Homo-oligomer: A and B are copies of this chain.
Amino acid sequence: MFNTLVNAAMTPEPSSAIHPRAGTDTVARILKAAGTLFAESGFDAVSMNTIAERAGVSKANIFHHFDSKDALYVAVLRQACENSTERLQRLGSDTGPFPQRLAAFAQHLLADMLDHAEVSRLILRELLLGGAQRGREFAEKVFGDNFARLVEILRAGQARGELRADIDPAMIAALLIGANVFFFEAQEVLRHFRDVTFAQDPARYSRMLADVLLDGILAPNDPAQRLSE
C-alpha cells in the first residue's frame, strides 16, 4: 500500500479521478517540502515536525503516507533521481564534431545542475557523503548514467581519431564532471575569491573548461616541452 501510494505520486498523472479526496496532492506537497528541507540542511537536521509544518499537514499524516522518516527520504531521493535521469537523456548534442559535442555536454550538464540545484544537491549529498546506504543506489545510477554517457562520447572521439588515443576516457569524464560538480558545490565560496571572475557566469566557466580540456594550457609555440615522468 505504501509503495502504491508513493509510486502513484511519482508519476504526475491526475489521479483525482481515482481518489475521492481533493487532497491527493498531499503526498506531492509532502515530497516537495521534504525535498527542499533535506536539500537545504541534510537528513538529520530536518525534523518531521518541520516538514509537516512546511507541507501544511499534520505530522501524523506524513506517517500515514510514509512508513518512516527514512522511507520518506528514500521516496524524495527516488523522485529526484527519476527526474534527473529523465532530463539526462536529452542532454548535450549527439551529433557534430567532437569538440562541439564535448563543449555542449559540459555546458548543458552544468546548466542543468544549476537549474535544478535542489535536486542536484540532494543527489550529491547522498552520493558523496560517506556511510548512509539509504539511497546511494539511486544516486549512483543517475551519476553512473551520466558518466557512462560521457565516456561514450569520448570513446567515439577516439575512434574517429579526433581525440588522443593514449588517454583514459574515464579519466576525462571524471575530470569534466568533477570540474562541474566542484563549480556547483563551491560557487558560493568561489564567489568572493578575488582571483575568480567566473563565479557568476557558469556558461563562461563551461566554455573555458572545454577550451582548456581540448587544447591544454601550455603555450602553443613550443610543443616540445612535455611532462617527463
Beta-carbon contact of B182 and A170 below 8 Å:
no
Beta-carbon contact of A229 and B207 below 8 Å:
yes
Residues of A112-134 at the interface with B, using a CB-CB cut-off of 8 Å, are 121, 125, 127-131
Beta-carbon contact of A219 and B165 below 8 Å:
yes
Q: Which of A130, A169, A210 has the most CB of B within 10 A?
A: A130
Return the contact of A193 from the options B147, B161, B168, B218 (Cβ within 8 A): B147
Residues of A144-190 at the interface with B, using a CB-CB cut-off of 8 Å, are 144, 147-148, 151, 161-175, 177-179, 181-183, 185-186, 188-190
Return the contact of A218 from the options B147, B163, B207 (Cβ within 8 A): B163
Main secondary structure of the interface of A (DSSP, over half): helix
A interface residues (Cβ-Cβ under 8 A, vs B): 40-42, 44-45, 97, 99-100, 103, 121, 125, 127-131, 140, 143-144, 147-148, 151, 161-175, 177-179, 181-183, 185-186, 188-190, 193, 195-198, 205, 207-221, 223-229
- Known A128-B185, A163-B219, A214-B217; 12 more pairs at CB < 8 Å: A40-B131, A130-B188, A140-B189, A151-B195, A164-B219, A165-B228, A171-B208, A171-B209, A174-B190, A178-B182, A181-B182, A214-B226
Q: Can you list 21 A-B contacts with CB-CB less than 8 angstroms, sorted by A residue number?
A: A121-B130, A128-B186, A151-B195, A165-B219, A166-B226, A167-B208, A167-B217, A170-B195, A171-B209, A174-B196, A175-B175, A175-B179, A175-B212, A177-B182, A178-B181, A178-B183, A179-B179, A182-B182, A213-B217, A214-B216, A214-B226
